[in-house]
Structure 1
């Protein structure tokens, strides 16, 4: 096989119902210079058998696909194993219940040709509920990047561009292509059961010398009712609190530097996600109190951060700012909007 440009890492555990479609979406558009590393995380079902059967239909790619097996250690350990084995200059990630959309490698290859020094390529995705013959159905947009962005360290407007890039506050490992240099000394935290992406991916962005963001969807993210992200246990809330604490400390430690401002943007995005996650477990009043508690920890004993936070919130668009400043009104307006949408579709609105 010729030199490897991109390594795609696919962790596999108990995904017998979905892995065939995921692999087909990948192998249908595989190209020279791309390797695939399938990490069997001790899956007890027939997932890996299905992977092997799919590979039999693509003999031309046999030398570009590796299957490695380990004892069950979780998705972070599986991804870390794939990273350690990868030979590509760039790393991409596909979860085994998701789909690569058509044109994935074509779009990424075009960016790499135009920006040979790029270190992160971010892109959008779509949510989907089911699929028919490998095509996503029940879709809606996941617009992480609402317009194309380009950041290069050292440019006159570099800090403003970085602020725009990280403003979305949505940190999914599968929504990007990453130079392997960024993983030197970094890996996914094996002790996190959720939000392992949010712990690591912002750091990759902040460490990158050049970033290109596409406003194009390249991946389909399956909304799976049995997925861990659709149920909330206290341990999972502990995980996101750990991630928030990590970026809170970055803000406090680097005050006066641009790194602190960017970390503050990440922090606020994580607190927003925390609030929405809390609402799936607690009444609204409790969720609001816990969200405000995170801000209190940020500014505790630091009047300089109190002002920095106020300045940051003032710069947010109205919808996002209102969540933090007027959470009860925000949630009321959101509930009314959902009820109006249901009425417009001829459905009976839920009264909560």
Structure 2
């Protein structure tokens, strides 16, 4: 009897849970949903988490949930409240049933082979608990004359496994390599037994919510970095990232993240000399601005000026 119950549960539960949180995304949400429906791999569920949207995007989500009741689930917070993307993603995780969890931002699009390609990687590398892939920074959706740009993860070796804490040393915001976009990620369900999205990141600081989640992955999980690219990361001026840069809040938000990360390391008794050195360097302009200016900012400006002068002299000689 127990065996029959297990088989029934296995049949009912999808292999992959896709979590899409949305707030006022009536312009793009349908295109995002359609990109999941177009997946060549079909054993998935899509959880559409409404973060209190006052526009027509809840109606769009509900319509697709009604059309595909066995595949698409509409969720919202109590009283249709707006609680931020982290609480919304965690709600989706709590309600999900899949063995793997994938995230798709409500204005991004997946290519049809995304789920199949990433599941193939997990099958080939069973020790991996998380997968990160490149993203296609999508400009042409709005301006066909603009070229899209595929940004790989980091600048080091691709298609390989990384063990803690290698990626946190290499990738933004402590390292120089490009970090992944949520729409290019997939994790095993076991990851969410001890790692969730950090709900302290709300409002302007939500710009760093994915970095807070990724920092935990880098410190605790075995991660496969793929050179594949199966997602279109929509670039638009209305995005929160764009606005934070435009109105001068970037450094306040970055400082908030760095101080959260320092507290996280302390709370979890994580001591790594390389990680700590990079963190202290990143915090220097906020905690010790004069020292940063004297020993880092001014010398860097001088070096850049010398290089400009040298280039001009070389150009004159060549002429």
- The yes-or-no answer on 1:223 pairing with 2:235 is yes
- Once residues 169 and 255 of structure 1 are traced to their aligned partners in structure 2, the CA distance between those partners, rounded to angstroms, is 27
Partner of 1:174, secondary structure, is helix
Q: Is the 8 A contact 1:254 1:260 kept in 2?
A: no
- What is aligned with 1:117? 127
- Once residues 165 and 87 of structure 2 are traced to their aligned partners in structure 1, the CA distance between those partners, rounded to angstroms, is 34
Q: CA deviation at 1:129?
A: 2.6
Listed as ranges, the matches of 1:184-223 within 5 Å are 184-192=193-201, 193=203, 194-208=207-221, 210-223=222-235
- Once residues 3 and 109 of structure 1 are traced to their aligned partners in structure 2, the CA distance between those partners, rounded to angstroms, is 16
- What is aligned with 1:293? 285
Match 2:73 to one of 63, 66, 74:
66
Match 1:173 to one of 160, 182, 186:
182
Q: Is the 8 A contact 1:2 1:32 kept in 2?
A: no
- Once residues 31 and 306 of structure 2 are traced to their aligned partners in structure 1, the CA distance between those partners, rounded to angstroms, is 40
- Once residues 171 and 126 of structure 1 are traced to their aligned partners in structure 2, the CA distance between those partners, rounded to angstroms, is 11
Match 1:46 to one of 35, 38, 56:
56
Q: CA deviation at 1:41?
A: 1.2
Q: Is the 8 A contact 2:135 2:184 kept in 1?
A: yes
* Residues 114 and 45 (structure 1), Cα distance of their counterparts in 2 relative to 1, 3 Å cut: same
- Once residues 101 and 304 of structure 2 are traced to their aligned partners in structure 1, the CA distance between those partners, rounded to angstroms, is 39
Unaligned runs of 5+ in 1: 272-290, 301-309, 311-321, 335-352
Partner of 1:10, secondary structure, is strand
- The yes-or-no answer on 1:247 pairing with 2:247 is no
* Residues 255 and 95 (structure 1), Cα distance of their counterparts in 2 relative to 1, 3 Å cut: closer
* Residues 293 and 131 (structure 1), Cα distance of their counterparts in 2 relative to 1, 3 Å cut: closer
Q: Is the 8 A contact 1:150 1:212 kept in 2?
A: yes
Listed as ranges, the matches of 1:116-195 within 5 Å are 116-131=126-141, 138-146=147-155, 147-151=157-161, 168=177, 170=179, 172-192=181-201, 193=203, 194-195=207-208
Q: TM-score, normalised by structure 1?
A: 0.66
- Once residues 252 and 118 of structure 2 are traced to their aligned partners in structure 1, the CA distance between those partners, rounded to angstroms, is 35
- Once residues 330 and 249 of structure 1 are traced to their aligned partners in structure 2, the CA distance between those partners, rounded to angstroms, is 35
Q: TM-score, normalised by structure 2?
A: 0.72
Q: Identify the structure with bigger relative contact order (alpha carbons < 8 Å, sequence gap 6+).
A: 2
- Once residues 305 and 188 of structure 2 are traced to their aligned partners in structure 1, the CA distance between those partners, rounded to angstroms, is 39
Unaligned runs of 5+ in 2: 1-10, 309-319
- Once residues 207 and 184 of structure 1 are traced to their aligned partners in structure 2, the CA distance between those partners, rounded to angstroms, is 12
Q: CA deviation at 1:28?
A: 0.5
Number of aligned residue pairs: give it.
281
Q: What per-residue deviation string (whole Å, max 9, x for no partner) do you get for residues 202-258 of structure 1?
A: 1112101x221111212111112111111125666433212111334567899995x
Q: What per-residue deviation string (whole Å, max 9, x for no partner) do you get for residues 98-150 of structure 1?
A: 11123211210111211223211110001113528xx9974112222444243
- Once residues 80 and 254 of structure 1 are traced to their aligned partners in structure 2, the CA distance between those partners, rounded to angstroms, is 21
Q: Is the 8 A contact 1:195 1:243 kept in 2?
A: yes
- Once residues 83 and 90 of structure 2 are traced to their aligned partners in structure 1, the CA distance between those partners, rounded to angstroms, is 11
Aligned Cα root-mean-square deviation (Å): 3.9
- What is aligned with 1:276? none
- Once residues 77 and 15 of structure 1 are traced to their aligned partners in structure 2, the CA distance between those partners, rounded to angstroms, is 17
Q: Is the 8 A contact 1:251 1:260 kept in 2?
A: no
